[in-house]
A and B are shown apart, each in its own frame.
Chain A
Amino acid sequence: MKTYKSTTLFASFMLGAALCGAGAAYAAKISISCGAVGQEYEFCKTGGEAWAKKTGNEINLVSTPNSATERLALYQQLLAAGAPDIDVFQIDVVWPGTLNNHFLDLAPFAKDAVKSHFPAIIQNNTIEGKLIAMPWFTDAGLLYYRKDLLEKHGAKPPQTWQELTDTAKKIQDAERAAGNDKMWGFVWQGRAYEGLTCNALEWVASYNGGTVVDKDGKITINNPQAAAAINTAAGWVKNISPEGVLNYTEEEARGVFQSGNAVFMRNWPYAWSLAQGPESAIKGKVGVSALPKGGADGRSAATLGGWQLAVSKYSKNKELSADLVMYLTSAEEQKRRAIKGAYNPTIESLYKDPEILAAAPFMGELYDTFVNAIARPSTPTGAKYNQASNEFWNAVYSVLSGKAKADASLAQLEASLKRMSRGGKW
C-alpha cells in the first residue's frame, strides 16, 4: 500500500513537471548564431530582442568565430551531430551547397516576401527546389580610402591597381618622411582562409582572368591574366602592405585602417559605419569607391558576399524559428540595419530609400557594384566548394608569401582541382 502511494506521488510529480515543461515550451527560447565581425553581434541582438518582445518569446544569442572558415567548421560539427542547440543559423552565401541537407525549406513561410529580394540571391539559396535560407544582407568588396590624405597629396581615387600601387607608395613614403612611420599604403585580407579567396577572386576577375571554375565546372584558373593579377598583389607585400597582412582577416585590416595607419583598405560594407563612428580616429575622412580595374581593358570586380538566415532541421521550434527569420529579413529590419550599421539590404526597393541613402551614400553610388558582384564558384563545385576554395587560397598564399611563382602555382592549382573534380566533373 505504501509503495503504491509513493508511486502515485511520484507519478503526479512527474506529470506536474511535464506540465511545467509544456508551459515553458509555450514561450519558447530560440537560439540564433550571430557573427561578431564589427557590430554584427549588437545588431543581431537588438533585432532578435525586438522580435522576442513582439512575440513574447525568448532569444538566445550564440556568438561564433569571426573567420568564415572556422565558423563553417563549427556549423558542420554541430549539424552533423544533429544538435538541436541552435535553431537559426547565419550562413555565408557560398554555403548552401555544402549545408543544404540540414536546413528547412523556408518557401512556405516566406510566401510573397521572396519576390522583393534580389532574384540572384534567392536562386543561390535555392537548392533542389528548396529555399533553404532567406537573404539577410549582401556584401561586395569595396575600396576604402583616406579622403584627407588623397587631397593632401593631390591624388584621386585610383581607377586601376597600378594607380593604387603608385598612389599608395607615394603617400606612404611622404607620410613616413613626415614622421608617421607606422603608415602603410594598402591593407586587405591575406590570411589563408575564405577571405583570401574573396580578395584574390577580385584581382583575377578584374584582369579578366575568370572565376577559377566557370559555370559549367571547367577549371579556368591557369591563364596569364590570372597570373598577372596575383603577381601584382604579391608585389604589394612588404612594399605598400605590411607582411603581417598575410595573417589579417577583415577585423585586423580594419584595425590598421581605422587607427589611421593605412591609406587604402579592401573591406566589406560593414566597415563604413565603424570607420565613421564616434570612436573612430578617421571619422569624416573616409571615402568609398569600387575596387580598381586590372588595367585599361580590365574591369572593376567585387566578390559577392553576404549572409543568409537558415532554420535547422533539428530545431525543436521550427515554426517560431522561421518566424524569427522572416522578421529579421523583413524590409523594416533591413532598413534599420542599413541606416545604423551599413549592412546592405537584399531587398531591391530599399536602395531607393532616401533615409538609407543619406546614412550610407555609397549604397546608391555603388549600386551597380552590388548588383554585378562576382559570385564565387560555389554553384558548379557544389559540396566540394570549400575544398576547392582551400586549394585556391593556398595557391595564392604561396605566391604572396614568396614561396612560389604565380604561373607555377596556378598550374599546380589546376592539376589539383582537376584531381579533386575528377576532370572537371565535380
Chain B
Amino acid sequence: MATATTELADRALGAASIAAPAQKSHLTRSRVRAAWLFLAPMLILLAMVAGWPLFRTIWFSFTDANLSDLSSAKFIGFENYLAYNDGEWYGVLADGEWWNAVWNTLKFSVVSVTIETILGLIVALVLNASFPGRSLVRAAVLIPWAIPTIVSAKMWSWMMHDQFGILNHMLLGVGLISAPLAWTASPDLAMTAVIMVDVWKTTPFMALLILAALQMLPTDCYEAARVDGIHPVRVFFKVTLPLIRPALMVAVIFRLLDALRIFDLIYVLTSNSKDTMSMSVYARQQLVDFQSVGYGSAASTLLFLTVGLCVVLYITFGRVRFDGR
C-alpha cells in the first residue's frame, strides 16, 4: 500500500546516510569531507543571517540597551524578564500586556491554522480531481498567496472600511446585516477580520502542500475500494487521510511557525490596540516605539522560546516524523 512512498523515502535516506559513519573507509571519509565542504557555504550564510541576529537579540535581552545609543548597553542579568523592586514586580513576565499578547497570538494561531487546514484540504481535493481548465484554476488559487501581505492587508482594510467598504455593501445588499459593521475597529470583530484575511491569504499555501501529497498517492487502493463499492467519504477517512497525514502534519507546522510570529497583517489592518496585539507587535513596540532594545529583545527571546515550545509540543504529541514514514 504505502510502498511507493516508502521506497521514495528510502532513496532519499540513502543519500543522507553518506554522513553516517558506519564503516570508516577512506572513501566514506572523503565523501563526508566533501559533504561538509558543500554544506559549508550554506552553514556560514545561515550563521550570518539567522544565527548572529538571534545570538545578538538574546544578548541584548540581558542588557539595558536603548535604541538611541546602543553602544552604552550594560549587562543587567534577568531584570528585563523579571525583577522585584520596592514591592512590585517588573519585567516582561510581570507585564499583563505581554500575557494578553501571548493569548491573542495563540488564539489567532490555533483558529486560523485550523480553518486553513480544513479549507486547504477541501481545495486540494477539488484540484486533485480532473476537470477541464484544472491547471488554470490551480494557478488562480495561488493568487492570494502571491500578493505581498502588506498589499493584501491594505486592500482588505479598504474592502472592510465601515463607510465605503465593499464588504459591508455586499452584506447589506444581501440583507445579512442591517447596519454597516466596523470590521477593523470594533474590538469584537477586529480579531475575526484578521483571521479572515489570514485564511484568505494562506489557504492556497496549505492547499498546495496537501495537493502535492495527494498527487503522490498510489491509485491501486482507490481502484480496490471502488471495486468493493466503498462509500467515497469512508475512502477519504480510511485511505486518503492516513496516507497524507505526514505531509499534512508538516504543512501545519509550517503554518503554525508562521502564524505564531504574525505581525504585518495585524499592524496594517487593525488599530493596534490591545485587542489584537500579537507577541511580535508587542516586541516591536518596545523595541522601536519605546526604544527599549533590552526589554524588547527580552520579549523577542520569549517569543522565540514560545514558538520553539509550541513546535516541540506539536512534534511530540502529533508524533510528526520528517522522514516521511
Binding site for B on A (CB under 8 A): 69, 72-73, 76-77, 79-80, 98, 101-102, 182, 190-193, 242-248, 255-256, 261, 383-384, 386-387, 390, 394, 397-398, 401-403, 419
B-chain residues with CB within 8 Å of residue A191 when the two chains form the complex: 185, 271-272
Q: Which listed residue, A383, A384, A394, touches B273 by the CB 8 Å rule?
A: A394
Lowest 3 CB-CB distances: which A-B pairs, in order? Answer: A244-B162, A247-B185, A243-B182
Question: A69-B289, A245-B185, A246-B185 are contacts. A76–B67 as well, Cβ < 8 Å?
Answer: yes
| B290: interface (CB < 8 Å) | yes
Q: Which listed residue, A73, A102, A256, A387, touches B163 by the CB 8 Å rule?
A: A256
| B68: interface (CB < 8 Å) | yes
B264-308 toward A: CB 8 Å interface, digit per residue (1/0)?
000000111111000000000100111100000000000000000
A-chain residues with CB within 8 Å of residue B187 when the two chains form the complex: 246, 401-403
Question: A243-B186, A247-B184, A398-B273 are contacts. A101–B163 as well, Cβ < 8 Å?
Answer: no
Please tell me if the beta carbons of A401 and B186 are within 8 angstroms of each other in the complex: yes
Which chain B residue lies CB-closest to A389?
Answer: B289
Question: A246-B185, A387-B290 are contacts. A101–B273 as well, Cβ < 8 Å?
Answer: no
| B255: interface (CB < 8 Å) | no
Which chain A residue lies CB-closest to B165?
Answer: A244
Give, as a whole number of angstroms, the nearest-CB distance from B223 to chain A.
55
A-chain residues with CB within 8 Å of residue B185 when the two chains form the complex: 190-191, 243-248, 401
Which chain A residue lies CB-closest to B69?
Answer: A101
Which chain B residue lies CB-closest to A393?
Answer: B273
* B136-189, CB < 8 A from A: 161-164, 180-182, 184-187
B-chain residues with CB within 8 Å of residue A419 when the two chains form the complex: 88, 90
Please tell me if the beta carbons of B67 and A80 are within 8 angstroms of each other in the complex: yes
Please tell me if the beta carbons of A243 and B289 are within 8 angstroms of each other in the complex: no
| B35: interface (CB < 8 Å) | no
* B84-107, CB < 8 A from A: 88, 90
Please tell me if the beta carbons of B272 and A193 are within 8 angstroms of each other in the complex: yes
How many residues in B have their beta carbons less than 8 Å from beta carbons of A? 28
* B80-131, CB < 8 A from A: 88, 90
Please tell me if the beta carbons of B291 and A76 are within 8 angstroms of each other in the complex: yes
Question: A76-B67, A191-B271 are contacts. A390–B163 as well, Cβ < 8 Å?
Answer: no
A-chain residues with CB within 8 Å of residue B182 when the two chains form the complex: 242-244, 246-247
B-chain residues with CB within 8 Å of residue A398 when the two chains form the complex: 273-274
Please tell me if the beta carbons of B68 and A80 are within 8 angstroms of each other in the complex: yes
- A–B pairs, 30, beta carbons within 8 Å: A72-B289, A73-B289, A76-B288, A77-B288, A102-B68, A191-B185, A191-B272, A242-B163, A242-B180, A243-B162, A244-B162, A246-B186, A246-B271, A247-B162, A247-B184, A247-B185, A248-B185, A256-B163, A261-B163, A384-B290, A386-B290, A390-B289, A394-B273, A397-B271, A397-B273, A401-B185, A401-B187, A401-B273, A402-B187, A419-B88
Please tell me if the beta carbons of A390 and B288 are within 8 angstroms of each other in the complex: no
Query: Once bound together, how far apart are the Cα atoms of A384 and B69, in whole Å?
Result: 15
Please tell me if the beta carbons of B271 and A247 are within 8 angstroms of each other in the complex: yes
| B70: interface (CB < 8 Å) | yes
Given contacts A77-B288, A244-B185, A394-B273, 17 further A-B contacts (CB under 8 A): A73-B288, A73-B289, A80-B70, A80-B291, A192-B272, A193-B271, A242-B180, A242-B182, A244-B161, A246-B187, A246-B273, A247-B162, A255-B163, A390-B289, A401-B275, A402-B187, A419-B88
Query: Once bound together, how far apart are the Cα atoms of A242 and B274, in whole Å?
Result: 20
Query: Once bound together, how far apart are the Cα atoms of A387 and B290, in whole Å?
Result: 6
B-chain residues with CB within 8 Å of residue A387 when the two chains form the complex: 289-290
Give, as a whole number of angstroms, the nearest-CB distance from A351 to chain B.
35
B-chain residues with CB within 8 Å of residue A98 when the two chains form the complex: 291
Query: Once bound together, how far apart are the Cα atoms of A255 and B165, in whole Å?
Result: 13
Query: Once bound together, how far apart are the Cα atoms of A402 and B275, in whole Å?
Result: 12
Please tell me if the beta carbons of A390 and B186 are within 8 angstroms of each other in the complex: no
Please tell me if the beta carbons of A394 and B67 are within 8 angstroms of each other in the complex: no
B-chain residues with CB within 8 Å of residue A386 when the two chains form the complex: 289-290
Which chain B residue lies CB-closest to A100?
Answer: B68
Of B67, B69, B285, B288, most A-chain CB atoms within 10 Å: B288
